[in-house]
Each structure stands twice: as C-alpha cells, then as structure tokens.
C-alpha cells in the first residue's frame, strides 16, 4: 500500500511538473516598417520552482530579413544578477537541423539531443546562430534575460514572402550549479515573426489611364501616400502643402510603371493633363458637345420641366461648364462661345484651364464614389491599376473614358425613349449607343485672282452642325472675308483672332441641316506674295454633328 501511494505521488508529480521552466521569445512591436529597429527579448519563466544559476540557449535569426544591431543583457539590470557572467557567440550562415523527433518547444530535450550529436547545425546562407550563456554565483531571477535589436530588411530582395518565424530558439538549458540540477525547459513561444511590415517594396506597379485620345503622353499623375490625404466633405484629397511621392507623365500608351511603391501601401492618385502648347485641349469640347448640351437643356415637357436624360450620370458634371450644379441653356451657350473661340468659363476644359474627374475603373463614373475612387492599395496580387479620366466639357467622351460600371448609367436612359421634342427624332445624348460616323469633305486652299481662297465643300446634307478651326500664317496672309452658303435658315458663326479662325454652323434645335456644295468660302489677302499655299492654312478641328447627336468626323479628300 505504501509503495502504491509512493508510485501515485510520483506519477502525479511527473504529470503536473513535467517542465520546470520556460524560455520564450518575446516580440511586441506594431506598425513595423522596413528599416525600423525592433527588439526581441528572451525571457525565462518559472514553472516549478526552478532556481537556475546557469542558463544557456541558442537562437537563430533570418539574416535575409533582419540585421542584428546589438545585444543587451537585461538580466544584469534586474536588481539581483548585476554581476552575472555573460557570453555571446555568433555563427554566421548556419541553421538548426533537428534530426530528432523532439518537439521544437522542448528546449532542454533538444539540447540533450544536440549535445549527444544526434541533432545539429548545417550551412544555410540566410541564417545566423547566436549562442548565449548567463551564469551567476546565485540564482538567476526569472524574467527578461537578453534583448536583441534588429533592423528590418526589405524582403523584396530576398526569396521570402513574409516575415514569419524569423527568430527561433533552437535549444535551451537551465542548471542549478550548486547541486547540478538540470531543469526541464520548454518554450511556449519558440519562434517569432511580424505579420505585417510596411514599406516592403512592391516591385513593378503599373498604372494605366484609359483615355481614348492620342495625347496620353500629355497626361500626368501625382501619387500621394494615404497619410498625406484628408477627407473634406466626404471627399478624399491631398492635404494642403503636401508634395506627391511620385509625379510624372504617362507614356503614349497611357501607362507608367514604378518600383517605388510598397506592398500593402495605400495611395491616392490625381490624374490631369497639360496642353504643352499644341492646342489639343482647346479641341476637347466641340460642336458635338455643344449640340448635346443644347439638346439636353431644351428638352422640356409642356410645363417646362426638364425631360433631358444623359446616358451616364457623369455627363451631368461634364456638361455643367458653368459649375452651378445643373446643365442648363447657360451651359449650352458656354459651349457655343467656346467653339466660337471665346473663353467664357474656366470650367470648360481648354489649353489654359481644365477640370478633371478620375478614378479606378471599378467605380469610375459612379456619383456615390465622387465619380471614381482615387485610393488604391498595392498587394502581392494587385499591382496593376486601371483608371478612367474625364474632362469637364467633354460630353461626347471624345477625350474621356466612358464608364464601364453599369451603376454609372442613368437608370432612365434608353435610346428609344429619348425623343427630340422639336423634331420627333431620337435624341441620343450618349456615345456608346451612337458611334461616330465618317463623311468625306473637300477642303483646300488655292490662289484665285491674287487672293488666297479656302473652300470647304460638303457632299451630304444631314448635318445640323459643323465646326472648322483654322490656323493660318498671318505673316503672309490677312483674313478678308467668309462667304456662307449653308442654307437660308442656318445659324452660322465665325470669329477671327490673331492667326486663328473659327467657322461653323449650328441649328441647336436640330431641325435644319447644312446645304451641300460650298457652305463656307474664306478669302485671305496676301501680305507677302506667294506662288502656292501648301501649309499656309491648317485645319485643327473639322467636325460635324447629326440631328440625333451622332458625331461626324470628316475624312478630307
């Protein structure tokens, strides 16, 4: 009976006190970025009245992810063991290769295995081993023993996909030297890593702007870190005075690549454009845009209520060139003034001033997203971002991205339901449902009776509007007159300023069409006599519009 009791007590003792103490790695850092210094502590914890006077352990760290900075023996400042002896040996390019069946957490068993040569180390370029010995003539007080500082490296230049398990305990032992008691040492945390490190280079990130025009290399980007932005009236925007992290031009395909953004980094992008002196932005808003604006504005029911419907919600802001919140007849006349060469509003996009809308294609054109989300997050799987971009004043999307998210379409829009109240014809104020058409046009200059004549000859009679922007060499030519033969009731326009001429016609009600033949003849005097006119008179815009809003591009014969 006595023997049985002794056995039971022994078994209970073994099961309840199978470990005497713990050696653990402790890392508590948060919001770690590449380049930050972090601390990893090795801590002893008593489990069964262990009173070691010798503590030894090996740890290894990943030198591809960490650079060791320093070692501090915390044990020396615990108030008891200030005179303890300490030693640290480093072994570069080795990694623990435990060939035994001992669990990684059973540190003293791993020590026993290693000490009997049944487990050991092998060469490994990415790992360094640190061996620590702490010895005192008295009991070592449990608690933090060592603090090791590391600098976090950018893993993009390594083969590792994360920062997990980058410091590991390999073995450990605790001994009471006074009676040579070897304690059973386990680990509750034998490996530490960092779940998220900011600033890891993302590698090549591609940004595309899906603009439909040929001046994409004159589109520009500015990228800010999200920390440089603020939300004002629900709209995310850069804080005042912030300089962009990155800025530059898109290439002629509307793309740019950067290798300076970070994984899991969130960024804000602004996309705009510059004219560069070529005048291309003066030609964003044309007679087709003007006609669409008029058709929208004059569409009213018998009570004067608006019945105009745009295909896309975005067109409500693109057409609002007076920036008063609505597309009205005032906006239409702004458009008309613009195609006459006048700048009345700074809200219609021109070479001198422009207003831009852009956002990720996923929600570009959605009013709820303020016409498009400008924030994007780079991840391992998301490194290409496609943005839409629109110019205010570009109602026909000639230079702007058409939204692809169905949520950007006006719920009430159907092609067949939109009727011009004046003509009974379809009034399509859209782009995708009404692709551009191409008409032939004969336009040429020649010398006639000592003057230079420019004749514009039209072969089809279904255009309600035309626009011809002309630039001439005013060191040789002097504008004299324009003769119209566009039809008796057609409203024509023209303006001459410096070396430019704006010529055209527009019946904004869409009821009358421009005559065929030679609707426009321009006469110039020669300041300097010339024998021919090649290159003297250049056409920057040649465009027509049909009653249903279809844009007509002229193919000059």
Partner 1 sequence: MKKLLLFTLSLLVLSCAKDLDYDVVEYTIVPEKLVIAEDAGLRLASNIVHGNVDINVKLPSAGTYRIRVLDLTNRIVSQDKIQAPKGDNILKVYVSTLPDQSYTVELLTLEGASLGRDVFAIQQ
Q: Enumerate binding residues for partner 1 (CB under 8 A).
A: 214, 277-279, 443-446, 471-473, 475-476, 499, 530-540, 556-557
Count the Cβ atoms, other than its own, within 10 Å of residue 416: 7
- Least separation, in Å, of the C-beta of 219 and partner 1? 18
Nearest Cα to Cα of residue 361 among 221, 253, 255, 210: 210
**Burial of 321 from C-beta contacts in 10 A (0-12 / 13-18 / 19+):** buried
Nearest Cα to Cα of residue 145 among 169, 121, 118: 169
CA 21, distance to chain mean position in Å, is 52
Identify which of residues 90 and 538 has a Cβ nearer to partner 1 in the complex.
Answer: 538
- Provide the strand spans (E) within 195-238: 197-198, 205-209, 219-225, 229-232, 235-238
| Tokens describing residue 53 | 């006077």
- Least separation, in Å, of the C-beta of 555 and partner 1? 9
Identify which of residues 241 and 277 has a Cβ nearer to partner 1 in the complex.
Answer: 277
CA distance 201 to 189: 29
- Least separation, in Å, of the C-beta of 503 and partner 1? 15
Identify which of residues 116 and 531 has a Cβ nearer to partner 1 in the complex.
Answer: 531
**Burial of 277 from C-beta contacts in 10 A (0-12 / 13-18 / 19+):** exposed
The region, left, alpha or beta by phi > 0 then psi within -120 to 50, assigned to residue 265 is beta
CA distance 85 to 76: 9
Identify which of residues 277 and 325 has a Cβ nearer to partner 1 in the complex.
Answer: 277
Identify which of residues 353 and 476 has a Cβ nearer to partner 1 in the complex.
Answer: 476
Count the Cβ atoms, other than its own, within 10 Å of residue 357: 22
CA distance 463 to 513: 5
Identify which of residues 384 and 475 has a Cβ nearer to partner 1 in the complex.
Answer: 475
Identify which of residues 38 and 536 has a Cβ nearer to partner 1 in the complex.
Answer: 536
Identify which of residues 477 and 545 has a Cβ nearer to partner 1 in the complex.
Answer: 477
CA distance 3 to 181: 26
- Least separation, in Å, of the C-beta of 267 and partner 1? 34
Answer for the pair 409, 403: CB distance below 8 angstroms, yes or no: yes
Map residue 142 onto helix, strand or coil. Answer: coil
For the chain, helix (H) and strand (E) counts, in that order, are 5, 32
Identify which of residues 413 and 472 has a Cβ nearer to partner 1 in the complex.
Answer: 472
- Least separation, in Å, of the C-beta of 385 and partner 1? 28
Identify which of residues 76 and 530 has a Cβ nearer to partner 1 in the complex.
Answer: 530
Map residue 138 onto helix, strand or coil. Answer: coil
- Least separation, in Å, of the C-beta of 282 and partner 1? 12
Answer for the pair 114, 120: CB distance below 8 angstroms, yes or no: yes
- Provide the strand spans (E) within 305-432: 356-360, 375-377, 384-391
- Least separation, in Å, of the C-beta of 273 and partner 1? 16
- Least separation, in Å, of the C-beta of 446 and partner 1? 4
- Least separation, in Å, of the C-beta of 277 and partner 1? 8
Answer for the pair 66, 150: CB distance below 8 angstroms, yes or no: yes
- Least separation, in Å, of the C-beta of 499 and partner 1? 6
- Least separation, in Å, of the C-beta of 220 and partner 1? 19
CA distance 186 to 312: 67
- Residues in a beta bridge with 544: 466, 552
Identify which of residues 193 and 279 has a Cβ nearer to partner 1 in the complex.
Answer: 279
């Amino acid at each position: 009976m006595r023997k049985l009791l002794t056995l039971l007590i022994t078994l209970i003792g073994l099961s309840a006190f199978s470990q005497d103490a713990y050696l653990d790695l402790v890392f508590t850092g948060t919001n770690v970025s590449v380049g930050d210094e972090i601390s990893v502590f090795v801590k002893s914890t008593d489990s069964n009245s262990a009173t070691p006077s010798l503590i030894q352990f090996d740890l290894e760290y990943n030198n591809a992810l960490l650079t060791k900075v320093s070692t501090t023996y915390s044990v020396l400042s615990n108030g008891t063991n200030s005179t303890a002896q300490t030693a640290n040996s480093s072994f570069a390019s080795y990694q623990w290769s435990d060939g035994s069946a001992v669990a990684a957490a059973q540190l003293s068993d791993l020590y026993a295995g290693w000490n009997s040569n049944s487990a050991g180390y092998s060469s490994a370029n990415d790992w360094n081993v640190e061996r620590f010995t702490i010895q005192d003539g008295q009991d070592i007080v449990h608690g933090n023993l060592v603090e090791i500082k590391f600098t976090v490296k950018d893993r993009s230049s390594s083969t590792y996909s994360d920062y997990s398990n980058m410091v590991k305990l390999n073995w450990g032992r605790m001994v009471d030297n006074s009676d040579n008691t070897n304690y059973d040492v386990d680990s509750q945390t034998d490996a530490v890593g960092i779940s998220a490190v900011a600033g890891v280079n993302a590698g090549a990130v591609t940004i595309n702007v899906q603009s439909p025009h040929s001046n994409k290399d004159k589109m520009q980007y500015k990228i800010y870190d999200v920390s440089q932005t603020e939300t004002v009236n629900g709209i995310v925007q850069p804080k005042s005075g912030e300089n962009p992290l990155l800025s530059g031009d898109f290439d002629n395909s509307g793309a740019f690549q950067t290798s300076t953004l970070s994984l899991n980094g969130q960024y804000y992008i602004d996309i705009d454009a510059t004219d560069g002196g070529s005048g291309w932005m003066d030609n964003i808003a044309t007679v087709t845009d003007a006609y669409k604006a008029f058709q929208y504005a004059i569409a009213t029911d018998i009570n004067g209520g608006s019945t105009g419907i745009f295909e896309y919600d975005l067109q409500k802001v693109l057409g609002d060139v007076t920036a008063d919140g609505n597309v009205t007849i005032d906006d239409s006349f702004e458009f008309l003034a613009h195609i006459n060469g006048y700048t009345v509003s700074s809200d219609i996009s021109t070479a001198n001033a422009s207003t831009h809308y852009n956002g990720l294609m996923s929600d570009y054109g959605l009013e709820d997203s303020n016409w498009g989300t400008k924030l994007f997050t780079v991840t391992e799987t998301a490194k290409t971002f496609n943005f839409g971009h629109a110019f205010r004043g570009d109602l026909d999307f000639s230079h702007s991205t058409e939204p692809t998210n169905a949520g950007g379409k006006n719920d009430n829009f159907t092609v067949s339901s939109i009727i011009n109240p004046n003509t009974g014809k379809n009034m399509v104020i859209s782009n995708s449902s009404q692709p551009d058409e191409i008409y032939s046009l004969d336009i040429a200059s020649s010398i006639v009776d000592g003057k230079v004549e420019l004749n514009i000859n039209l072969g089809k009679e279904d255009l309600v509007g035309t626009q011809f922007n002309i630039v001439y060499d005013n060191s040789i030519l002097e504008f004299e007159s324009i003769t119209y033969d566009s039809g008796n009731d057609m409203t024509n326009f023209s303006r001459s300023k410096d070396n430019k001429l704006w010529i055209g016609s527009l019946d904004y009600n869409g009821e009358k069409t421009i005559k065929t033949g030679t609707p426009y003849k321009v006469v110039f005097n020669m300041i300097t006599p010339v024998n021919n006119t090649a290159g003297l008179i250049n056409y920057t815009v040649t465009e027509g519009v049909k009653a249903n809003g279809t844009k007509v591009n002229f193919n000059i014969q």
